[in-house]
Amino acid sequence: MAPAATSESASEHTPLDRLDPLDLPEGHPFGPHNLPYGVFSPASSDEAERRVGVRIGDHVLDAGGAAAALGSPHAPVLARPTLNSLLASGRTTWSDVRRALTSWVTDPAHRELVRPFLHPLSSVTLHLPFEVADYVDFYASENHASNLGRLFRPDEEPLKPNWKHLPVGYHGRSGTVVVSGTDVVRPSGQRKAPADPAPVFGPSVRLDIETEVGFVVGVPSRQGTPVPLASYRDHVFGLCLLNDWSARDIQGWEAVPLGPHLGKSFATSISAWITPLEALDAARVSPPERTVPLLPYLDDSSEPAGYDLRITVTLNGQVISEPPFSGMYWTGAQMLAHMTVNGASLRTGDLYGSGTISGTEDNERGSLIEITWNGQQPLDLPTGKRGFLEDGDVITLSAWAPGPDGTRIQLGEVTGRVVPGT
């Protein structure tokens, strides 16, 4: 789409309130080639009045309202307070709705009907975009798993024997998934340092982040029926950025012999925007070469499902890491296949996370426990030294992916501020 009224010369002669929000510069990262979905409340309404929205530039399109005005058959799945109806509608409907939305925001014939349903992004309240059913978190980065192995098991091989045979994961708590911008209360719990004679109770002193990508399930599956790799795109609607906050001291004491519990369950932040898989077709890549043969249900050699996502992590506005998602050993399709291979069913609104994303370089580590090497090498920031998070710290994850014809796809960011516990 060619640049129009947003150019400098046009804005010099046209009042800002008369510029058409659909006249975006060519290649805008939230242009018609992107169109992520969210849920919002307009400034003029009560927050309880929630609507499905689609981001276009710096505006949100009331998708249900526009669909009704245009007489679209998709109005029933879009005129909802959450994305769940759209998620459940399936891949054919996802594609049909996307084509319709693209037409509504690009075809001049629709502009007069569509324009009243555009809201400035700065004027709306964004909400958790879907009702989360189950939440599973994986451990899919070889670099992250190896770093933690070297930290905590220096006399052993960094990876456990099972790690390259299956995507390791655990079942998490869905009720504490929160939308970007929600404050994160510092959790309390039991903790015990190796030299302590007994555990103590109190606020976590080793609060950390985990830079992740979340996968949002749309179409459910029957219990007892595994979902094969080839059906990944029939079930997964889209991706979002995810920060799985972690209390490392609570986690370290409780996770023997079982997995994470209170050290993880207090909060998981996701973006307010879900990017559909279709928008990311140009970003698909092959994962790193696997060094161990895979069992047939995980063998993705015929259709690899990695994604080239360029992620940036900031702490109080300072860039502290840029982890590359393209280097993840296990893909979203393999995680889904493994999650269901025992017959566990999918539900609309299931969310599963990739686990911490870390690259091979020091500036590509996706958690503070790696960046500061368990606090031994603190970050030196303008706001002070950091081994782990302090109250008042603000973490933001942002990312982009290659789009069609050299464009960029911007993912919705995830921001959270740490506040003291009560």
Say whether pLDDT at 195 is over 80: yes
Give mean pLDDT, residues 380-395.
97
Residue linked to tokens 């979340």: 214
Cis peptide before 378 (omega within 30 of 0): no
pLDDT of residue 302: 87
**pLDDT: is 5 or 46 the higher one?**
46
Q: What percent of the chain has a predicted confidence (pLDDT) above 70?
A: 95
Q: Is 308 left (phi over 0), alpha (psi -120 to 50) or beta?
A: beta
pLDDT of residue 19: 64
pLDDT of residue 9: 34
Give mean pLDDT, residues 407-413.
98
Give mean pLDDT, residues 355-375.
98
For 326, other C-beta atoms within 10 Å of its C-beta total 19
3-17, 178-192, 205-219, 331-345: range with lowest mean pLDDT: 3-17
Give mean pLDDT, residues 218-241.
98
The tokens of 134 are what? 């189950």
Say whether pLDDT at 233 is over 70: yes
Instruction: List the catalytic residues.
Output: 144
Half-sphere exposure of residue 105: CA atoms within 13 angstroms, side-chain side: 28
Confidence class of residue 44 from pLDDT cuts 50, 70 and 90?
confident
Give mean pLDDT, residues 178-192.
97
Residue of 153, 134, 145, 170 whose CA lies nearest to 328: 145
pLDDT of residue 358: 98
Strand 351-353 versus strand 135-138 pairing type: parallel
3-23 residue pLDDT tens? 333 333 333 443 444 568 899
pLDDT of residue 304: 81
d(CA 225, CA 370) in angstroms, rounded, equals 38
pLDDT of residue 185: 98
Give mean pLDDT, residues 159-174.
97
Q: What are phi and psi of 344, to 5 degrees?
A: -60, 135
pTM: 0.94
Residue linked to tokens 């060094």: 291
371 close to 352: Cβ distance less than 8 angstroms: no
Mean pLDDT of the chain: 94
Confidence class of residue 126 from pLDDT cuts 50, 70 and 90?
very high
pLDDT of residue 12: 41
Give mean pLDDT, residues 81-95.
98
Confidence class of residue 262 from pLDDT cuts 50, 70 and 90?
very high
